[in-house]
Structure 1
C-alpha cells in the first residue's frame, strides 16, 4: 500500500515541441512574459484621454515617453522580417497575409497607445489548419519570440478603460483600425526585439479558433511620390503644408517661390501601371472646392486623377503623407477648414 506524499505538486505541463520553421528557445533567453522595467503611464494616459476623445482622431493621441533602454537588447541577430513563420501545416490557401512597405499602426506599449511607422505585415490563420490548439500556438510563438530576444512590453489589454478612452471611446475602431486585431475575443500581447537602434515589433492575438500576427519593422518615412515632369524623383520636402488662417483671404496667402512643375503638378505614384491610372481632363471647366467652411466655384483647366491604393503598393496613410509633402514642396497651403461631410456645409448646399 502506498501513501500520497504531502506537499507534492504536479509538474507543469511541458511546452509542446516547436514545429519546423519556428526556432526553439535559446538557453538563457529572457522569457517573453517578463515585463521590462519602465515608467508606468496610466496616469498620463488617463489625463490625456479626454483631450484625444474631444479631437476624435488617432493622430491627436499624445506621445508618452518610453525609455527603450529598459527593454533588454537581443543577444543574437534578429531574423529577417517578419521574424517568425506560419506553423508548417498551414498551407498557402490558409495563409491570409497583407503587407505594406510603409504604414502607421498602433500598439499597446506598457499601459498606453503607441504609434509605429514602418514596414507592416498582418497574418492570420485558423488553428484547425495548423493542427494545433490555441495553447499550443501561443506556447510555440512565446518560445520562438524568446529565442530571438523579443520581450513582452504590453501590460494591459485593449479593453482597458484608459486605452479605449485614449482612442476616443470607440472600442471597435480601436481594435480594427488602430490595433489591427482581426476578430473579437482575442488575447493581445506585444513583443519587442531591440537590436541597437533598430526596433522589431510582433503582436500575437489569439482566440479559440484563430491567430493573428501583426509585425512591424520600425523605420522612418521615405517619400516616394514626385512632381509632374519628374515623377521618378521624390520631392525633398517632408511633413504637412501650412494651414491658412480662418476665415480665408486668398489675396493674403503667401505667394509660392517654388518653380511650379507642369500641370497638374502632382504625379501618380511611381510604378503605378497605366491601367490603374484614371484621368479626366478638361481645358476649361468649373468645379466647386471647399475654402474655409464654404463652397467656392473655380474656373480653369481641370484634371481629376484617381487610382486604387493597393495597385500603388501604398497604404492610405502613406498616400496622404506623400501628397501632403509634395504640396508643401510647391509652397501650397491648406485652405479648407471642414470636409465634405460637415453638416453645416451639407445643409447650406443641399438643404439636407
Structure 2
C-alpha cells in the first residue's frame, strides 16, 4: 500500500494552507503550536483566537510568534515557531479540558471562514482540528461532523469520507448516522454515486490510473446468499456489475470479517466499508497516530486528524502531533500533484 508523504524536493513556497483549531478546550491548539516548532514549505494560516493560542503556548512552555493575516499580502514562508493567525475570537475564556457551550459558535465561525477562503481560492487547502460534536449540538447548533458540514457549505449533497495511513485506505458509504438508519442510505443510487466519487478522486488526488476498490458487504458473511439479508443481492452486486461494465476495477462484496486479511489488503488501493464502525476501527488499530482523514468530492482539499479532542490531554504537553503532521504532509503532496509512492 502507498500513501503520499512530503518530498523535500517539492517546490511548495507559493502555497497557503489554512488550519482550524477545532474545539478550543481540546488539543487542537496544542497540536498547532507543536506543529510550527519546525519549518514547513508552505505558508500556514491558523483560523483561531490569538489570545487562546498565546495562552496555550505559555501553558505548554513552547515559543510562538503570531503574524496577523492580510489577504492581499504575498505568501511568505515563516521560520519555525512562527505562524500567521486569522483571528476569530472565542466568546469566553478558554480553559483546557473544560467545554464551554458559548464557545461552540467560535468553532463554527472558524470552519465557515476557512471553507469560504478555500472556495474563493484564498487558500490552497484546509486542515481541520478535532471538534466536539456533543457540545456543539448541546449549544443548539445541529452538527453531525466536518464531512457533512463542509458539504453543506458548498451546496454538495454527496461527499465521501476516507481515512488513510501507510498500510491502508478505508472509505465509507455512510458516515455519522445511527446504525438503525444505515439501510435507508444503502440504496442503488447512493452506492453508485459513492463509488463514482471515490474512483474519480483516487485518480485526481492519488494519480491512480485504474484504482482497485474492494467493497464490503453490508450484512454478516456478505448476506450469505440472501439468508442473512438481501442488500448484497438487490443493491450492492447490481451496482458493482454496472460499474464493472463501465471499466471500474471493483472486487466484492466481501464479508467485513475477512476483507481486511492481507491477501486482500495487499492488492486493494482502497476498501469501501458500508458504515462508520465497519471499517474505521481496523484502520485506527493498524496505525492510529499515523492515520489522517480526507473528504472526497469537495471542490477543495480538506484533510484532518483522525482522532478526537482528547480533553484530558489539553494543555498538558502530552498530546502527540503525529496525525496532524501526517495530514499536513499528505496535503502538501496533493497540492503538488504528486502521485503515491513508497512510504518513507
Q: What is the TM-score with the length of structure 2 in the denominator?
A: 0.26
Higher-Rg structure is 1
**Higher relative contact order, structure no. (Cα contacts within 8 Å, ≥ 6 residues apart):** 2
Q: What is the TM-score with the length of structure 1 in the denominator?
A: 0.25
Bigger proportion of residues as helix: 2
